[in-house]
Amino acid sequence: MLNKIVAHPVQLLLASVLVFCLVLVRFYEEVLFYDPFLAYFKSDFNNLPLPVFNTFLLILNLLSRYGLNMLLSLGLLYVIFKDVTMIRFSFFLYLIAFVLLLFLFFSVIYFYGAENNFLLFNVRRFLIQPIFVLLFIPAFYFQKQHS
């Protein structure tokens, strides 16, 4: 397998650049995106009420961050697998996941408030972090090996 990786230096470079871009999104999250929950979850949030936030601005920034992570992740999947059908499938999975996670995120906020911070923390994590690509790469690799 190492021979396959070394045999394609351009793919390795592109994949590295895309992963580095994902890291940059995380590194500059406070500058790039409006998210009052960043400071909230960095503190002792179990004893604090939820922060005040602008719903429209929060949705817009969650969408932009999720979209940026999604585009970089889809690019990474394409570089790795070179399968357009797989990318289309992943795109629709990302869209469905975004709608469901956003609905769940605001449902937890409005129905539970600060009572269920752990659920809110984890739902938000799926919205703002490129976790799905970490699930898709091994799943698609396994699928390619067995088809």
pLDDT tens by residue, 46-65:
778 889 999 999 999 999 99
Write out the two tokens for 143.
């699928």
Per-residue confidence (pLDDT) for residue 4, from 0 to 100: 64
82 backbone φψ class: left, alpha, beta (φ>0; ψ -120 to 50): left
Q: Taking the model in full, what pTM does it have?
A: 0.90
**Which three-class secondary structure state does DSSP give residue 47?**
helix
Q: Which of 8-17, 20-29, 37-46, 49-58 has the lowest mean pLDDT?
A: 37-46
- CB neighbour list of residue 2: distance below 8 Å, 6 or more residues apart: none
Higher pLDDT pick, 5 / 13: 13
Per-residue confidence (pLDDT) for residue 1, from 0 to 100: 45
Asked if 36 and 58 count as a contact pair (C-beta separation under 8 A), the reply is yes
Write out the two tokens for 39.
């400071």
